[in-house]
Amino acid sequence: MPGSTPVSAPGEELAAQAALPAPARRRRRPRWLRNIGLIGSALVLAAIVLAALAAPWLAPHDPYFQSLNDRLLPPYFVDAERAVPAHPLGTDNLGRDYLSRLLYGARISLLIGFFAMVVSGLIGTLMGVLAGYFGGRTDTAVSFLVTTRLSLPIIMVALAVVSVFGGSLEVVVLVLGFLLWDRFAVVMRSATHQVRGREYILAAQAIGCSVPRILWQEVLPNVLSSLVVIASYEMAQAILLEAALSFLGLGVQPPLPSWGLMVSEAKEVMLFEPWMIMLPGAAICVLVLAINLLGDGIRDLTVPEGRA
């Protein structure tokens, strides 16, 4: 053991692994604290969902109402003297209330994120479960589709499709849904492959259950935990992509208050009013972080050995 070098940790690491089944530190922590990431992210996410649902009541103004006399008012935390009580987070360069636009923007991110996740989840889960259950040719076909999908540059294809069909919410949801199913397929395939040989599946086969019934009643409930984890990651991914598409002008169209679009609109005045890009960007960041941490928390809860 190289005690003279400052780096003695790897040796300790080896020793610790041999001697202790689990790090002592974790045992000392109270049980509920272990899931602090899960609880915290669930609370943040719930708050954002509630704010989005209650936007008409929470928002002080109409998010589309322009008032050229009140352009570019700063928020309170930037310049308390110039800020006005009617616009606590200021106004954008068309005089629209920023707080109201941020609240309504949460609706767009959540709607697109959720439904794109549902679409891609349906496609990917169907493919993955079939590939994992049947193997052979089905498996080859699905892995071919996944490889093809992965080689298509996602942003470019999405931009091109939106430019052709127009940037409505439905188009963005469908484009993202049809581009983000690959991870669902890969994970569901290996999860299904793992449970395929288990006794309860063999039993169901032996008593003559139909294939759809086996997949629905026996396979799906047993791969549900991985499904939920992937669903959270893909929802976060869809939210980030929507923001990027809208930022590039080929996603959600003005005057809708998409957070990505708000960053793009604030870009021109970012030298003088940097808070205008900070707020919507931070909103995306917090939402995506909450969803990702929720997914991590669920994963740690359901598959403790899955932690690296």
Q: Distance between CA 93 and CA 230 in Å, rounded? A: 39
Cβ neighbours of residue 67 closer than 8 Å, sequence gap 6 or more: 91, 95, 96
Q: How many angstroms separate the Cα of 307 from the Cα of each of 24, 87, 299, 302?
A: 17, 45, 8, 11
Nearest to 260 by CA among 131, 106, 147, 153: 106
Angle at 169 between CA 163 and CA 173, to 5 degrees: 85
Range in contact with another protein (rule: CB under 8 A) among 60-68, 146-154, 186-194, 214-222: 146-154
Residue 247 near another protein by CB under 8 A: yes
Residue 166 binds to another protein (criterion: CB under 8 A): no
Nearest to 227, CA basis, from 177, 178, 189, 184? 184
Q: Is 306 in the site for another protein (CB under 8 A)?
A: no
Tell me how far, at minimum, the Cβ of 290 lies from another protein, in Å.
Answer: 9
For position 3 contacting another protein by CB under 8 A, the verdict is no
Identified binder of another protein from the candidate list 284, 294, 298, 299, rule CB under 8 A: 284
State which of residues 260, 294, 297, 299 lies at the interface with another protein (CB under 8 A).
260
Q: Is 17 in the site for another protein (CB under 8 A)?
A: yes
CB of 287 to another protein, least distance (A): 8
Alpha carbon distance, N-terminus to C-terminus of the chain: 25
Phi and psi, residue 113, nearest 5°: -60, -45
Neighbours of 152 (CB within 10 A): 11
**Using the rule CB under 8 A, is 144 a contact of another protein?**
yes
Cα(211)–Cα(197) distance, rounded to whole angstroms? 14
User: Does residue 153 touch another protein according to CB under 8 A?
Assistant: yes
> Which of 11, 60, 255, 306: binder of another protein (CB under 8 A)?
11
Q: Decide if residue 69 touches another protein (CB under 8 A).
A: no
Stretch that binds another protein, among 53-61, 176-184, 220-228, 236-244 (CB under 8 A): 236-244
Total residues at the site for another protein (CB under 8 A)? 54
* Helix, strand, coil share of the chain (percent; to 5): 70, 0, 25
The structure tokens 């999405």 sit at 158
> Which stretch in 62-70, 181-189, 278-286, 297-305 sits in contact with another protein by CB under 8 A?
278-286
Interacting residues with another protein (CB under 8 A) = 1-2, 5, 7, 9-11, 13-14, 17, 23, 25, 144, 147-148, 150-157, 159-161, 163-165, 236, 240, 243-244, 247-250, 260, 263, 267, 270-271, 274, 277, 281, 284-286, 288-289, 292-293, 296, 308
